[in-house]
Structure 1
Amino acid sequence: MPTTTCHHLLLFALLIFVLHLGASMKPATRSDPNGEVHGLLPAFGLPKGLLPDNVVRYSVSDDGKFKVKLSEPCYAQFSELVSFDKTIEGKITCGAVSDLSGIKVKKFFVLWFPIVRVDAGNGDGTILFDTGTFSETHPASEFQDIRPCKSMDAAAADE
C-alpha cells in the first residue's frame, strides 16, 4: 500500500475516532458491544479478523497506543492455534502493530511464542507475524473473518 494512501487512511481513521469520542482530549475507553474495534482495523490497513469475537472494550490514544480487553483469555484456531490474554496492548500505525503483548502462537505442538509485531505494510496480500525469535508470513485472507474464541477450559478439553 503506498505511503500516501496509508497516511490518508490513518488520518481518516483518527478523524473518525476523534469525532466518535467527542471533544474529550484524553484517551477514552470504549465499550465494544457492536465490534467497533474490528471496523477500525481495516482503516489502518489491517484485516478485521486479527482480533477474536469477544472484545468488550478498547482504547486508543492519539499516538497509536492501544489496549483491548476481552471478556476472558481464550484460544482461536487460525492455520495455527493462537492464544489471547484478557488484555492485549500495543501501538498501531498504518499497516502495522508494534510493541504487541497479549497474543501467543503455538508452534511445534508444545511451545508458545509471543507475537510482538504484525506488519501488513508491503501490500502483497500477506501479513508478517514476528515473535522476536522468528517471523512468518500468512495470507491476509486468513484474517478477514472474525474468529470465535474458545475459553481456556474449552480449548484444553479439545486437545
Structure 2
Amino acid sequence: MAFTIIFFQPTFLLILLLVPLHVTDAYSSIQELLLNHGLPAGLFPESVKSYNLDKRGVLEVKLDSPCIAKYETRVFFETVVKANLSFGQLKGLEGLSQEELFLWLPVKDIIVNDPLSGLILIDIGVAYKQLSLSLFEDPPVCRSQGFSIKMGGRKSIGFQDQR
C-alpha cells in the first residue's frame, strides 16, 4: 500500500487563512438558515433583501426599508436587524420591536428551547412572551408605510382617517 504525501506551499496556506469564511454560502435563503438552526422559517418578513452570517455567529439581515408585520401582535423591523445566532436562539437582537399595550418595546431575544413543545419565547425586556411556533411558519408580509416608529401619533402606527 502506497501513501502519497501532499505538501502545500506556505503562500497557499496563508491565502486559505486570509480568505474570510462566510457561513451564508451554505444556505440558499434566510428561511433555510433559520430552519437549520432550530428556528422557524417565518421569523423575518418576505421582504429580506440580503443577510450575512459571519463565522462568529453574528447574523445581519437587511430589508428594503423599515416595515411592520403582524404575528400575534405587530412587530416593527428596522432596515437592518442584527443578532447572535446559535441553535434555537437569536440573542442580543437589535432593530426589532414589538407592540405591547400601545407601547413599542425592543425585542431582546427569541428562543426555541424545545421545538416539540410548539412554543417560542420572546424576551421584550420587561416580560417574556410564549407564542405558538405556528405563528412563525411562513414569512409575513411586511408593510412599509412611510413612517418612523419614533414619530408618534395615530397615523405613524398605521391608523388612517376613515372616509
**TM-score, normalised with respect to structure 2:** 0.74
CA 1:25–1:99 in 2, change beyond 3 Å: closer, same or farther? farther
Q: How much has 1:27 moved relative to structure 2?
A: 5.2
Count of residues in correspondence between the two structures:
133
**Residue among 77, 80, 88 paired with 2:73:** 80
Equivalent residue, structure 2, for 1:91: 84
**Residue among 114, 119, 144 paired with 2:111:** 119
Q: How much has 1:87 moved relative to structure 2?
A: 0.3
Equivalent residue, structure 2, for 1:69: 62
Which stretches in structure 2 are left out of the alignment for 5+ residues? Answer: 1-16, 148-154
Structure-2 separation of matches of 1:157 and 1:87: 19
RMSD, matched Cα:
2.4
**Residue among 120, 127, 131 paired with 1:134:** 127
Q: How much has 1:153 moved relative to structure 2?
A: 2.8
Q: How much has 1:136 moved relative to structure 2?
A: 0.2
Bigger CA radius of gyration: 2
Alignment of 1:2-151 (within 5 A): 25-26=19-20, 28=22, 36-108=29-101, 110-123=102-115, 124-151=117-144
Greater helix share, 1 or 2? 1
CA 1:57–1:27 in 2, change beyond 3 Å: closer, same or farther? farther
Checking the alignment, whether the CA contact within 8 Å between 1:95 and 1:119 is kept in structure 2 is yes
Q: How much has 1:38 moved relative to structure 2?
A: 1.4
SS in 1 for 2:32: helix
Checking the alignment, whether the CA contact within 8 Å between 1:94 and 1:121 is kept in structure 2 is no
Map Cα deviations across residues 104-147 of structure 1 (whole Å, 9 max, x no partner): 00011x20000010000223111000012111000001000111
RCO comparison, higher one (Cα < 8 Å, 6+)? 1
Checking the alignment, whether the CA contact within 8 Å between 1:44 and 1:95 is kept in structure 2 is yes
Amino acid at match of 2:142: C
Structure 1: 4+ residue segments shifted above 6 A? none
Amino acid at match of 2:109: R
Amino acid at match of 2:20: K
